[in-house]
Structures are given as C-alpha cells and as structure tokens.
Structure 1
C-alpha cells in the first residue's frame, strides 16, 4: 500500500470555497492575486472580487474559489456571511507585526467559534520577507500553544507574496483540508484513528481478504492497490511495506501477510505524516463519504409505499442473518452476548441498536444473551421502522446482494381483507387502555419478563405515528375496576368511529370477540399472544361496526384492522401511555409508540 499520490476526488465535493480573513494590512489581497496570477501585484485594491484559481493548480483538479474580505467594522456583517459560507478559512497575520499574530487567538479564532463556523482553518503568516531575522522564532514554537487551544487549525505556514515563497501551498493545504479532512479520521489529542474510521477500514480489509485467512497476501495487497490507486505494487514495494510495519509492530505481519492490525497501523502512519489523501482515496473507492458512511449510491433507494403497507426482510436476507448469527456465536451457546453482538456491528459506523427504540427491545436469556429469534426480531423491527437504515447495516455487516433484494413491501391491507388472509410476517399491534389497566404487564409477558408488584408508569415519548400502520388494536382494561372498563370501551368506540357508546355489551354490539380474561400476576395469559396473531393473520374477521360507521362509512379509513378486548383480572400494571406491540409470528420483542396524532382522549400520564 504505497499510496500512489492523490488521484481521488471527494464524492461529495465538486468545488471548494476558501475565505481569506485577518487584520487589515496582513497581506490578504496580495496573497490571493499572487496565487491566481503567479505575479506580485503592483497595485492592490482594498478588497478583491471572488477569484477562481486555475483548475490544474492542484492534483485533485477541483475548482477553487477564493473570497477576499475586509476587516473594517462597517463590513463586519458581510464578513460573517462569507465566513458562514466557507468550506475552509485562511487566517492571515503579518510576520513583521507580532500584534496581528496575537489577534488570531484573542479575536479571529474565537470569532469563528462564535459564528459557529466549523470548517478547517489554515493559518498563513504573510510578508515573511519583511520579518526581522534578529527576532525570529520557530513557527512550531509560536503556533503550538495556539493549535493546542484551537483544534480546528489544520496547518500553519509562512509565506511571501513578494518573493513567491509558499504561496500555492497556502491554498493547496486549504483545499486538501476540505477534500481530505483530518477530523473524521484522526483524534489529534489521542493521536489515534477515530472509531468510525477503524470500523470502515476493518470492513474494507475484510472485503479485500478474499481467502478469509485474516491477512492480506501479496496478491491481495496488489489487488487492493490496483483498485484504489490504479497501479500495481512492485514486489520490492510489497516487501518494503511489510518491513515498515514489522519493524514498528511485529504483530502487524505474519506468514500469511499483512494483518488487520498492520493495515490499521499503516493508515495511522499515513495520517500522522500528513498523507490523509491516501486513506481518503481508499475510503472513497469503497463508497464512503466525508461522514465515513456509505454514500447514497451504495444504499437502498427510498421505498414508495402507502401508509397501510409495511416493509419486511426477504427470505434471502433472513438466511444471510442466520449465517451471521452462527458465525458470531463464538461460544456456540445459541445466543449473542454483548461482546459478540458488538463484533457483529464492528464494521458498521456504530451499533444501530445501542439506543431507543432498539435497545432492550428483544428478549434475552438469563445471561443477557440475544437469541436467534431475538436477533431476527431486532432486524425485523429496524426494517419495519427504517428499511433504508436496516439495509445499510446489512451491507456494513457483509450482505453482498443487491440492496433491493433484502426487503419487500407487503401488499395493502384491503387486499389482505379481500383474500381473507395476511401475507405479512410482522404485525403492528397498538395497545390502548386507561392508566393502570395492565398494558405493560401484557407486553412484558410476550418477551418473558416477570410480573412486578411495583407500579412504574411509562411516560417517555418513544415514537409518533398514525393508526394507518396498525394491523391489530388491543384494548386493555382492569376487570376489578368498573371505571377502567368504561374508559376502555370509550377508547374502543372513539378509535372505531369517533362515536359514543358505553357498556359491557359494546363488544357484541360491534361484532367483535368478548373480552379475554388474563392475569399477569398469576401468569395466566389465556394464549393471548397466539390469539392476537391469529386475528392479525385473518384481517377480514373481528372488524368492529358502529351505528355511525354504518351511516357515514367513515370507519373504512380507520378500521381496516382487527380489534380485541383484553380483560386484566388484577391491578398489576406498569404502563401509562398508548403503546404498540410489533409482533412477529413468535413473541420476540415489543416497541412502544405514542399515538399523539389520533385525537383520541385517553389517559397518557
């Protein structure tokens, strides 16, 4: 991996806008004119118009526009606007005026932070030819404290427009900082590759390790070099690369070739030596953007579907995930522990399940391991909620098929009703009920969680959506509390038709099944999970009908789903807001949803 120079262009940057700022008289305009015209100007206007640098001035051949600015108070607003539009900022000071150097840390750099200008900064010491050599100090000695305080500074350079010293280099470093930024790759303080960079490089290493022996052989290294830099490695170059690694990191090379540790070491070395373009070339050749995520052209296009259609994994994707589970279940105990699960996503930018709504959404064994059913259920949930994210992570962990082959859009619910059967493998079940009706206990039972005597109201807002996503609605009430039943029936009627009706006979009046008695405390669930799934599988049954619905037909929009009433026999509840259960054909997980858009008057405390 010799690098081969910079031939890569950012897959997201088509031009670079560099804004030059600094105190009056520090040489801003002379710097720009000399770079563009390759000649020192005899007469310099106060502020130059936008200046385009020659496209062939730098290897990346990305157009560069340089913006001159005035530091006068009356132009402060325009200066702020230009800085906010910058891709990079060049801050100038005059080498013969020490006060202008001090102003960088007392005014200019704090001003950039105040304006929230979060772009690379190049510090250019102009008028080098005028500096008093009697008072000369090293640039590193002067700038080191400032760079420690202001990490946004990429490079410091001294130059002279009059003597043509390092003028093109100022703008080369500014352009390079935009096209090949340091921040996403390297932690300057810790002097290590950033986690997301490590994860991307690990994925690239695995993709290039064709024989899966944990090392890049000479042939694999050469293939990698050709793919990334369009030029083969000579045998002597391969020997040289491995020698460099082995001298500094013995475990970076073994008999089969360059190890992952050695591969990462090389990239850290390139970056430390200022050759960020080498690592960026590699990342971009494998489809990564400046956020070190795969670009949109590598991923699934947005899926068009109606509100009553959902997205599920295909059998091809499920089989791939079964293989992934088996591969990473290192101890063979039929579950992925925390370390094994982290390893699954070690080639993704981060684990997609570390936060809500996925964290703790699936059942785990007594040791905290995620079963195969739970693993597949988490993927089903992610595919249901965010299919593009789901497929993106499938690709990160090694799915090699066409992205569109990983998911399918289910047919519309009205077609399911006509055919009297649903073709879905994942159902969304919204659970309604008043406070302390037993909703949480019911949901916890689906994933094998124990009943708790402690009442813990759930008050966080997890998700907002509409009833169109609902395949089956469950209404829960506490059978020991008459007011709980009355409120549950009110909710049922309101959701069904926006009409008004109360009384126990509401179930029969609306043509749905009578309340099903269960007890979370006693562990008697009356086969409720299977009954919910069965109702969802046959969406033409148990659809409520109201008087208002008969006359206005408004229920066609809201009621193309099955409903049932669950009677909880003891006051053993935990949940205190509307929730939904996402059901696979086996009980693996549930997920909460707030139904804020419904206009349903329910207790959401």
Structure 2
C-alpha cells in the first residue's frame, strides 16, 4: 500500500532495511491506467479504490469491515485521510485492494485534482439507503467534478440495507440513475449484519475489467485527444469507402466499363 501511494517513502523503508541498490529493482512498474483502459484489461495486482459519499453514509464502516475490525454503533466523523489494504482472492489469484477515504475536508481537494483521480482504479460512491438525502450528495459531487471522474470505473454502494429503504429526494432514484449511466444498480450491503454481497470482489472485478463500469460507456475511458483521434480514424475510413464506391460506380456506368484493368479504371475515375 505504501509503495502504491508514496513510492518515495517505500524507497526509504527499503534503504532502512538494507535492501541492495538499485532499490527500484524491488518495484514493478506498470502501464498508466488510461493506457490499460484503452485495452479494456488491467495487468495490475494492486488496485486503488476511492470511497466517496456523504457524512454518515457508512464509508468508515466499509473500511473497517474490509480489514476485519469490529463494527461500531457510535458515529465518529472522519477527520483525516484513511487508507486500508487487504488481499482479495479472484479465481484463485491473489489481488491486493487499497481502500481510501478522505473525509469532508480532503474529498473535494482530491476529486478536483486530475493527477490524483488518474491513479484510482475504481471509485465507489457510498450512500445511506435509509437516508432520503444521502444520494443527492453523490449526484452533486459527480456533477461538480465530472471532468475528472467520468473516465474512472465506478461502483455505487447502498449501505445500511438492514434498515427501512427510504425514497431518495432526487430527481431519479439510484437504480434508474445508474441505468442511465450504463452501470449496474447499487450493491446493497449492511456492515452491521455482515451482509456484504461480495462488494470487495466486485471492486476488484471492475478494476480488472475497467471498461465494464465506465459511466456513459467505455468510450469515456479515453482522453479527449484519444477520442478525437478515434473519430478522425473512423471518419477517414468512412470517407475512403465512400470515395472507392463512387469511383467504382463512375467506372461501371461509363462507356468501356472495366476495360484496361483496375489501374485504368481507378486513375480514370479519379481524373474524371
């Protein structure tokens, strides 16, 4: 986890423990996440998931559950950035998942910084399914920072499923909101009763196949420049087919037809 979040500190630890130079040989350097999303598959073994949501939605309880800490009934607001790590078994392969919660003080600072959002493999939006106002916080957050969030694989989590489900005071309900984005409906969990619906496996699964959970479709995983290049290639291809079809039509309909071979009719078609 330290290597993922702060490689300079990890290098200092290696030096302290007497790891031989070059100490960077202890690291495995992977491709940028954006490059992996273009291919639709991640080769990483360590994934970073940002946990975002309104105060009291159950973010800290999720982190505690992930590392086997006891559930606490008393609400304690998060005052500093918190990170936890644990292993997750995916089809017999061990992956490491890092969950990071910011607290209200650092959340906006992180989400508006594209350098920080670019290192996230997954972003999980957590809301209290028993609180009528909890989902609106997520919607407003996504709208405010859409420029730096829409390319990140996304998962919605509805906590406190052991309590009565509340109708959210939002223009659309969470399941409809997710479907409009082309995403799976929120995963319902209850840390208190231990009903977790394999949510941590779901996070790793999304990180491994990122294009399956890009809001608005896999095309959002590309940068604006990459999307522009993709559109230009497509238009060039369509234009090429159109010109070829036009030349074939002109050659076919003129006197002499295909006489003289393909080069003659091609040049002749262009000249005419």
Assess if the C-alpha contact under 8 Å between 1:49 and 1:67 holds in 2. Answer: yes
Counterpart in the other structure of 2:154: 121
Corresponding position: 1:80 with 2:112: yes
Corresponding position: 1:447 with 2:233: no
Shift in Å at residue 182 of structure 1? 5.6
Counterpart in the other structure of 2:35: none
How many angstroms apart in 2 are the aligned matches of 1:145 and 1:446?
54
Corresponding position: 1:67 with 2:100: yes
TM-score by length of 1: 0.29
- Residue by residue over 1:142-188, the C-alpha shift from the partner in whole angstroms, topping out at 9 and shown as x without a partner, is 4332124333x334112122221116x22222221232346499x98
Counterpart in the other structure of 1:354: 237
Assess if the C-alpha contact under 8 Å between 1:95 and 1:127 holds in 2. Answer: yes
How many angstroms apart in 1 are the aligned matches of 2:63 and 2:205?
17
Among 141, 144, 150, the residue aligned to 1:108: 141
Corresponding position: 1:157 with 2:157: no
Shift in Å at residue 52 of structure 1? 1.5
The structure-2 alpha-carbon separation of the partners of 1:136 and 1:116, relative to structure 1 and needing over 3 Å to count, comes to closer
The structure-2 alpha-carbon separation of the partners of 1:14 and 1:367, relative to structure 1 and needing over 3 Å to count, comes to farther
Query: Mapping of 1:524-535 within 5 angstroms?
Result: none
The structure-2 alpha-carbon separation of the partners of 1:172 and 1:448, relative to structure 1 and needing over 3 Å to count, comes to same
- Residue by residue over 1:60-82, the C-alpha shift from the partner in whole angstroms, topping out at 9 and shown as x without a partner, is 5332221112233x652124334
- Residue by residue over 1:340-367, the C-alpha shift from the partner in whole angstroms, topping out at 9 and shown as x without a partner, is xxxxxxxxxx989715778747995424
Shift in Å at residue 122 of structure 1? 1.3
How many angstroms apart in 2 are the aligned matches of 1:80 and 1:49?
18
Question: Whose Rg is larger?
Answer: 1
- Residue by residue over 1:386-432, the C-alpha shift from the partner in whole angstroms, topping out at 9 and shown as x without a partner, is xxxxxxxxxxxxxxxxxxxxxxxxxxxxxxxxxxxxxxxxxxxxxxx
Counterpart in the other structure of 1:180: 209
The structure-2 alpha-carbon separation of the partners of 1:26 and 1:83, relative to structure 1 and needing over 3 Å to count, comes to farther
How many angstroms apart in 2 are the aligned matches of 1:372 and 1:183?
49
Among 98, 119, 125, the residue aligned to 2:132: 98
Assess if the C-alpha contact under 8 Å between 1:88 and 1:178 holds in 2. Answer: yes
Assess if the C-alpha contact under 8 Å between 1:30 and 1:161 holds in 2. Answer: yes
Query: Mapping of 1:157-556 within 5 angstroms?
Result: 157-166=187-196, 169-181=198-210, 183=212, 354-355=237-238, 360=243, 364-365=247-248, 366-367=251-252, 447-449=267-269, 451=271
Assess if the C-alpha contact under 8 Å between 2:135 and 2:174 holds in 1. Answer: no
Assess if the C-alpha contact under 8 Å between 2:111 and 2:148 holds in 1. Answer: no
Assess if the C-alpha contact under 8 Å between 1:16 and 1:87 holds in 2. Answer: yes
Structure 1: which 5+ residue stretches go unaligned? 1-8, 189-193, 195-289, 292-349, 375-443, 453-605
The structure-2 alpha-carbon separation of the partners of 1:353 and 1:114, relative to structure 1 and needing over 3 Å to count, comes to closer
Among 51, 56, 59, the residue aligned to 2:84: 51
Corresponding position: 1:19 with 2:46: no
Q: How many residues align?
A: 207
CA RMSD of aligned residues (A): 4.6
Counterpart in the other structure of 1:301: none
Assess if the C-alpha contact under 8 Å between 1:109 and 1:150 holds in 2. Answer: no
Q: Secondary structure of the residue that 1:64 maps to in structure 2?
A: strand
Assess if the C-alpha contact under 8 Å between 1:362 and 1:447 holds in 2. Answer: no
Shift in Å at residue 58 of structure 1? 6.7
Q: Secondary structure of the residue that 1:21 maps to in structure 2?
A: strand
The structure-2 alpha-carbon separation of the partners of 1:181 and 1:60, relative to structure 1 and needing over 3 Å to count, comes to farther
- Residue by residue over 1:180-212, the C-alpha shift from the partner in whole angstroms, topping out at 9 and shown as x without a partner, is 346499x98xxxxx9xxxxxxxxxxxxxxxxxx
Assess if the C-alpha contact under 8 Å between 1:363 and 1:448 holds in 2. Answer: no
- The structure in which a higher percent of residues are helix is 2
Which protein has greater RCO, CA pairs closer than 8 Å, 6+ apart? Answer: 2
How many angstroms apart in 2 are the aligned matches of 1:14 and 1:373?
54
How many angstroms apart in 2 are the aligned matches of 1:147 and 1:179?
20
